């Protein structure tokens, strides 16, 4: 009897030790390092009787039932550590930084706007020693790193790769110009501006992937003669002039269509050599780049539904262009897009001889426009600089449905006192109200929090923003 009780006691102790051991280790670990739950026997579960077996599962993979490692996208903090798993972001030491008190980029999250650091490179040009792989940090001295400065790595011929973290929003003018050993660049979705000449002359650059939010400015990749692999997201907001000129892709005749038009993905890059007649832009095209058809012989153009952006001066100087229909999908139109065309010269297209509309799009207002003006209620977009120096204009009402207030829209409207903006506006461009010295009231059909998200530029100090949740001065203080 004692022997039997001893056996039972030892069995219970062994089972208890096994249970505690499994709990402490979190399960068995296979040779690959994956943590699993073990077999049915080890877990103490009851196996089904033979009659309950599924013949289709007789040869079940022995690894089935084991837990895979939990994978996640690393979310790095200003301390360069992943906030989820604690993984450290290893970045290049010895770089120089400058602190900017205020970032003007409204696309940045609030916590990354003010203040933040800008990467300056490492030393003066001609004295730099950067080479190999450059990895930029998320943060520095407890603040975000959000910009790469103008000429920061210019002429660093030893750099072979650069890793740009998702804290960066601006890549400055000429930042990596003439980095002749750089072979590949991936630009994250956080980047909103790739400024002029940013990667110009990177003659070994073979591939580039550009995130969905980047405005790509003039000559950004010009002269990258080895560049043949270009990935442009459909969501890229706009593409500047000659961005990809003299790249491997540009220089390959097979990339140009039979009419002499160059596309990259769903973006029309250039078509200045297109002949007379009507050209139909390819279905699925999202943007027409700046100056794409400038001074061409076009007499007509068919733009597809789904097009979003028509760049600056895209058809400027196309004297014979008499027929164009802009689809309602377009929400961004640059400046001087149709200057010098037959469409522009046709007075029948001008409302009361003072405001040019093409379809549901306001293209330009003459500087003689005076008093209070209400934009047509069916308007989808307003071109940049449209009301430039309309010095007799005193008030403007913009209808619901317009989503962008373009760059310098009211620049120099010195007598403009009041502007009414709809809730549909999601972006207000740089210098939209510059030199509007008389501006006193902005009536915005949204909250002040939303206003701060879409506008981050200066206003006259006496201006009041009337929001749905109160009235605020230019500094964000509540006023009566």
> Which 3 state secondary structure label does DSSP give 362?
strand
pLDDT at 226: 98
**Are 386 and 365 in contact, with CB atoms under 8 Å apart?**
yes
In which element (H, E) is residue 185 found? strand 184-187
CATH number for the domain that contains residue 466: 3.80.10.10
Asked if residue 50 belongs to a domain, the reply is no
Do 197 and 302 fall within a single domain?
no
The model's pTM is 0.81
- Domain with 106 in it: 75-252
Nearest in space to 448 (alpha carbons), one of 430, 432, 471, 429: 471
Do 164 and 225 fall within a single domain?
yes
Do 233 and 172 fall within a single domain?
yes
Q: Is the pLDDT of residue 26 over 80?
A: no
**Are 221 and 197 in contact, with CB atoms under 8 Å apart?**
no
Domain limit, last residue, from 209, 233, 252: 252
Do 365 and 228 fall within a single domain?
no
**Domains held by the chain: number:** 3
Domain limit, last residue, from 345, 375, 402: 345
Asked if residue 56 belongs to a domain, the reply is no
* Cα–Cα distance for residue pair 309/314, rounded to 1 Å: 10
Write out pLDDT tens, residues 173-221: 999 999 999 999 999 999 999 999 999 999 999 999 999 999 999 999 9
Mean pLDDT (the chain, rounded): 86
Domain limit, last residue, from 298, 316, 345: 345
Write out pLDDT tens, residues 51-104: 444 444 444 454 555 555 557 789 999 999 999 999 999 999 989 999 987 544
Asked if residue 115 belongs to a domain, the reply is yes
Write out pLDDT tens, residues 117-165: 999 987 665 455 567 899 999 999 999 999 999 999 999 999 999 999 9
> Which 3 state secondary structure label does DSSP give 350?
strand
Do 245 and 263 fall within a single domain?
no
* Cα–Cα distance for residue pair 9/16, rounded to 1 Å: 11
Indicate the DSSP class of residue 399. Answer: -
């Amino acid at each position: 009897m004692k022997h039997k009780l001893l056996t039972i006691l030892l069995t219970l102790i062994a089972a208890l030790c096994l249970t505690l051991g499994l709990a402490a280790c979190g399960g068995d670990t296979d040779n690959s390092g994956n943590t699993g739950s073990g077999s049915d026997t080890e877990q103490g579960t009851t196996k089904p009787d033979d009659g309950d077996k599924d013949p289709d599962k007789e040869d079940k993979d022995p690894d089935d039932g084991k837990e895979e490692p939990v994978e996640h996208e690393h979310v790095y903090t200003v301390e360069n550590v992943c906030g989820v798993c604690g993984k450290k972001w290893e970045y290049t030491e010895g770089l120089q930084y400058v602190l900017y008190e205020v970032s003007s980029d409204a696309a940045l999250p609030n916590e990354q706007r003010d203040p933040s650091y800008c990467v300056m490179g490492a030393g003066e040009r001609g004295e730099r020693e950067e080479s190999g792989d450059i990895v930029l940090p998320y943060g520095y001295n407890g603040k975000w790193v959000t910009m790469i400065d103008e000429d920061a790595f210019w002429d660093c011929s030893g750099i072979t790769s650069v890793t740009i973290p998702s804290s960066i929003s601006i890549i400055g003018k000429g930042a990596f110009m003439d980095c002749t050993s750089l072979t590949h660049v991936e630009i994250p979705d956080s980047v909103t501006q790739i400024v002029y000449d940013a990667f110009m002359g990177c003659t070994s650059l073979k591939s580039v992937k550009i995130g969905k939010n980047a405005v790509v400015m003039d000559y950004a990749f010009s002269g990258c003669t080895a560049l043949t692999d270009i990935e442009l997201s459909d969501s890229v907001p706009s593409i500047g002039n000659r961005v990809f000129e003299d790249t491997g892709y540009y220089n390959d005749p097979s990339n140009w269509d039979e009419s002499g038009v160059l596309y990259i993905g769903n973006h029309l890059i250039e078509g200045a050599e297109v002949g007379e007649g009507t050209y139909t832009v390819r279905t699925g095209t999202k943007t027409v780049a700046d100056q794409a058809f400038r001074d061409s012989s076009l007499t007509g153009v068919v733009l597809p539904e789904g097009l979003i952006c028509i760049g600056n001066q895209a058809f400027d100087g196309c004297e014979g262009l008499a027929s164009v229909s802009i689809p309602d999908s377009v929400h961004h139109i640059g400046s001087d897009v149709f200057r010098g065309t037959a469409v522009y010269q046709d007075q029948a297209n001008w409302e009361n001889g003072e405001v040019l509309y093409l379809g549901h799009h306001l293209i330009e207002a003459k500087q003689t426009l005076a008093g209070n003006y209400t934009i047509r209620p069916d308007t989808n977009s307003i071109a940049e600089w449209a009301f430039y120096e309309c010095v007799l204009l005193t008030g403007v009402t913009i209808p619901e449905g317009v989503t962008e207030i373009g760059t310098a829209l009211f620049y120099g409207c010195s007598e403009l006192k009041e502007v009414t903006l709809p809730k549909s506006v999601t972006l207000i461009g740089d210098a939209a109200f510059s030199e509007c010295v008389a501006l006193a009231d902005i009536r915005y059909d949204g909250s002040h929090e939303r206003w701060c998200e879409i506008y981050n530029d200066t206003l006259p100090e006496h201006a009041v923003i009337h929001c749905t949740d109160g009235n605020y001065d230019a500094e964000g203080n509540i006023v009566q």
